[in-house]
Chain A
Amino acid sequence: MPFEEKVTWVSAVVSVFVSAVYFSVVGGQLDSGPVSEIAYQRWMLIAVVATIAMTIVGSIMAGIGTGISAEITGKGSVDDIGLKDERDEHINRRGERVGYYVASVGALGVLALAMLRFDQFWIANALYLTFVVGGLVSSAVKLVAYRRGF
Chain B
Amino acid sequence: MVKPTRVSNSIRSLRFAAGEMTQAELADRVHVTRQTIIAIEQGRYSPSLEMAFQIANVFGVPLHDVFHYPEEES
Contact = CB atoms under 8 A, between A and B. Distances in A.
A80 B39 CA distance: 16
Interface stretch (A19-27, A82-90, A111-119): A82-90
Interface string A136-150: 000000000000111
Given A86-B48, A86-B51, A149 B42 contact: yes
B44 A86 contact: no
B45 A87 contact: yes
| B contacts with A: majority SS | loop
B73 to A, nearest CB: 24
B42 to A, nearest CB: 7
Contacts of A85: 31-33, 36
Interface in B1-33: 1, 3-5, 24, 31-33
Nearest to A77: B24
A149 B36 contact: no
Contacts of B39: 87, 149
Contacts of A150: 4-5, 44-45
B36 A2 contact: yes
A88 B36 CA distance: 9
A86 B47 contact: yes
B43 A149 contact: yes
A80 B5 CA distance: 26
B47 to A, nearest CB: 7
B35 interface: yes
Contacts of A72: none
B4 A149 contact: yes
Interface in B40-72: 42-45, 47-48, 51
Contacts of A2: 33, 35-36
Given A86-B48, A149-B39, 9 more contacts: A1-B35, A77-B24, A85-B33, A86-B36, A87-B36, A87-B45, A88-B36, A149-B3, A150-B5
Interface of A: 1-3, 5, 76-77, 80, 83, 85-88, 148-150
